[in-house]
């Protein structure tokens, strides 16, 4: 029997991520597992010039703080829209490269499975950069369940018979 105690749901708060969260909630209920939502905000260096044309550390810190608050609020709103009253979730927001931070977080914590949505990057961007989900599947030491189709209904009760 597979034992799942800790589920990681990386999210960008998109519609596909909502579908993945629904699956994760079902898994969490089925296995009585802990649920963690991880949102990775891309960290880009900011060059902030004030009216006099020089770098303003105060303005930079203010913008970073506001960005952190917005990301935290977005993650909380995302969870509140889809949550189940029987399940609690740990909400984590970190900065960095999404693929790197998802795999790092999963490796450093006791995650048993990663459940995440695929994202619709297509064309040249996909060829050059790949997708975050694709890289996580390839490099994560934990199993990864990717969700791409919101119309598919996953019935856990059917799988038990």
> For residues 19 and 120, which has the higher predicted lDDT (pLDDT)?
19
Average pLDDT of the chain, as a whole number: 82
Distance CA 161, CA 159 (A): 6
Q: What is the mean pLDDT of residues 148-153?
A: 66
Specify if 120 maps to a domain.
Answer: yes
* CATH for 66: 3.40.50.620
Range of the domain at 67: 6-160
Q: What is the mean pLDDT of residues 120-127?
A: 48
| pTM metric for this prediction | 0.80
Give the chain's domain count: 1
Give the CA count within 13 Å in the CB-facing half-sphere of 15: 5
């Amino acid at each position: 029997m597979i034992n799942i105690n800790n589920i990681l749901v990386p999210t960008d708060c998109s519609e596909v991520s909502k579908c993945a969260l629904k699956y994760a909630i079902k898994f969490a209920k089925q296995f009585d597992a802990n649920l963690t939502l991880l949102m990775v905000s891309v960290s880009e260096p900011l060059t902030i010039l004030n009216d006099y044309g020089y770098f303003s550390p105060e303005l930079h810190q203010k913008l970073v703080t506001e960005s952190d608050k917005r990301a935290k609020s977005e993650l909380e709103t995302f969870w509140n829209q889809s949550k189940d009253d029987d399940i609690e979730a740990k909400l984590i927001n970190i900065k960095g490269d999404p693929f790197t931070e998802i795999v790092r977080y999963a490796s450093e914590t006791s995650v048993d499975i990663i459940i995440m949505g695929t994202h619709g990057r297509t064309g040249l961007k996909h060829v050059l950069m790949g997708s975050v989900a694709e890289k996580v599947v390839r490099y994560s030491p934990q199993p990864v369940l990717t969700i791409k189709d919101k119309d598919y209904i996953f019935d856990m009760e059917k799988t038990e018979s």
